Chains A and B, each alone.
Chain A
Amino acid sequence: MNIVVVVRQVPDLIEPLEIVPTGDALDLDTASFILNESDDHALEQALLLKEAGGGSVTVVALDFGDVDNTLYTAVAKGADRIVKIACDGDTPPAARDSAAVYAEAIKPLEVELVLVGVQAHDELDGGLSPFLAAALELPYVGVIRGVKAGDASGTITACKEFPGAVMARMSVKLPAVLGILGADQPPRYVPVSRIRGAMKTAQFEESAATLAAGELLLSVSRLYPPAPATRAEMLSGSEEEIAGRIAEILAEKGLVK
């Protein structure tokens, strides 16, 4: 099965987020970037499918943030091809515009399955994955946790997650696009030495796809952190002091007997 995985760089939420002086966007110069978590799962799922049934995994990304490292890591994990799409400007495009350029890059790859993380925390205009499916004119289902080869040729079975740890097993005729929430197993660890090895041997393919801004359907007028916590009474002191205070609160409420 020939699989394409789209990976995105997103601001690392562990680091403080700054806002530009105009107040309508994140200051990405001060942000550090990481691989979007559900895209990491999409890559893992692709590698698992390849290992189980053969084929190839091509990883496609916009040239933004720390993408080189992400792509080399993908090769070190087992990806066969890495494709970069030029991305001018300081900010990544909106999901819908991204979908158009990813579609342009993916169409020549004769793909059977496209896997994309179902959500990225810096998207306000919806998921990339369904927009990409629409741009590729392929069927789509998202919020998928686990994919297997199907019983019939040219099909896969995908588990769609619902509340209460309930899954819907869906049969998918290929080609298709899936929005991945989680892979069948956690993303694999890859030693730094193998990433360094990939840096020496792997070659980026540059896509000729070009990014064009579409009609602005959604515009951010103000970005701001939520008001500080108003409900939580903050406990201070050493860990032991805080532990003692929590134990006291629980005892007062009859939760420690």
Chain B
Amino acid sequence: MSAQDVLVLAESRGDALADVTFELLAAGRELARATGGEVLAVVLGPGGAAHAPALAVADRIIAVDDPRLAEYSPEPFASALREVVEAEQPRAVLIASTSIGWDVAPLLAARLDAPLATGCQEICLDGDGLMVTASFCGGKMLAECRVAASPAILMMLPGSYRPTDETGKGELEQRKPAAPLEPGAIAFEQWIYPEAGDVDITQQDVLVAVGRGIQQHDNVELAEELAQALGGAVCASRPVVDQGWLPATRQVGKSGMIVKPKLYLALGVSGAPEHQEGMKGAELIIAVNTDPKAPIFDVAHYGAEVDMLDLMPALSEAIAARKG
């Protein structure tokens, strides 16, 4: 245990670790090199020790086992993590900006009276504090923030660090919570999976993505026509799904699907970090947006600053003409 250590919360999904965990370990490795501390990976739940080989980037892997951690609920997870953080006293705690992270990180910060920074893309040492660069206002701004106190609870945006091949000591420690974990007032009941039958956008070669620029439900038909001309399917960013204009199975991004099509045509999508997380692996990204500063242009290969509603019919026509 050292006040210079960096602790990473390793999230698992099913039997596998979440991809973002490896990004956090890379970030932790880089920061620990600067602080002179070790990287600690904490994995919560029965069977967590089985993840130890995959977490070898860390120097110590702390697997906390308790039946109450078998399925996610906020209170046991936050309590178990708090116990480890209080015991280890790390310089920083890295938690991914995920559904679990958005519960656990602020609860941990509140209970420890520790600083919390969200949307972190980069971390470095700054004297006796830390400096983080964080996404702000949907990625339209970046903020350099100084975090003065330890432990700094840092919520990391997925995609900010590349996984590393470095390895640490990889020592496994298996622990049980010192006191039985309380179930809390919020209990997991069951997983609900999307209904089968809709298009599986993760299997499409061509995706026509619509964002806020679609403006109204009726305009989705224009995107459907374009997708049909291209032999693909329509997907969407979160606001479109929130409006009920497309089902959740068509949502791309952090809380939706991760897609890697051959073509991702982003129409009226601003490209907030949460959306980019789901689509930046596409082979070819063409973005259309009236806002020249839209973050989507940062990940697109080609861009056009025009209104999607004007472009869609013209593009459908141009594609049809190509096909003869």
Contact = CB atoms under 8 A, between A and B. Distances in A.
Greatest chain A CB density within 10 A among B73, B257, B299 is at B73
Interface in B189-236: 189-194, 205-206, 230
Given A168-B188, A170-B73, A225-B140, A163 B284 contact: no
Contacts of A19: 141
Greatest chain A CB density within 10 A among B99, B117, B314 is at B99
B106 A130 contact: yes
Contacts of A135: 110
A159 B304 CA distance: 38
Contacts of A220: 143-145
A121 B136 contact: yes
A139 B111 CA distance: 13
Contact of A170 (B117, B187, B300): B187
A26 B141 contact: yes
Greatest chain B CB density within 10 A among A19, A239, A244 is at A239
B188 A185 contact: no
B299 A218 contact: no
Contacts of B102: 118-119, 127, 130, 142-143, 179
Given A163-B258, A256-B322, A13 B304 contact: no
Given A143-B103, A253-B284, A256-B323, A217 B115 contact: yes
Contacts, number: 275
B317 to A, nearest CB: 7
B270 A13 contact: yes
Given A163-B255, A222-B143, A223-B142, A255 B99 contact: no
B186 A165 contact: no
Nearest to A11: B137
Nearest to A255: B263
> Which DSSP category, helix, strand, loop or mixed, fits chain A's interface?
mixed
Nearest to B305: A234
Greatest chain A CB density within 10 A among B146, B206, B295 is at B146
B305 A169 contact: no
Interface of B: 13, 71-75, 98-99, 102-103, 105-107, 109-111, 114-119, 131, 134, 136-149, 153, 155, 184-194, 205-206, 230, 239, 241-244, 247-249, 251, 254-258, 262-263, 270, 284, 286-287, 291, 293, 295, 297-307, 310-311, 314-315, 317-319, 321-323
Given A142-B102, A165-B248, A218-B115, 13 more contacts: A26-B137, A37-B242, A127-B118, A159-B192, A163-B13, A168-B190, A181-B255, A217-B149, A226-B139, A234-B305, A239-B310, A246-B318, A247-B318
Q: Which 5 A-B pairs have CB atoms at the shortest separation, nearest pair first?
A: A217-B115, A134-B110, A130-B106, A232-B303, A243-B314
Interface of A: 11, 13-14, 16-17, 19, 26, 37, 41, 96, 118-119, 121-127, 129-131, 133-135, 139-143, 145, 157, 159-174, 176, 179, 181-182, 185-186, 216-226, 229-236, 239-240, 242-244, 246-247, 249-251, 253, 255-257
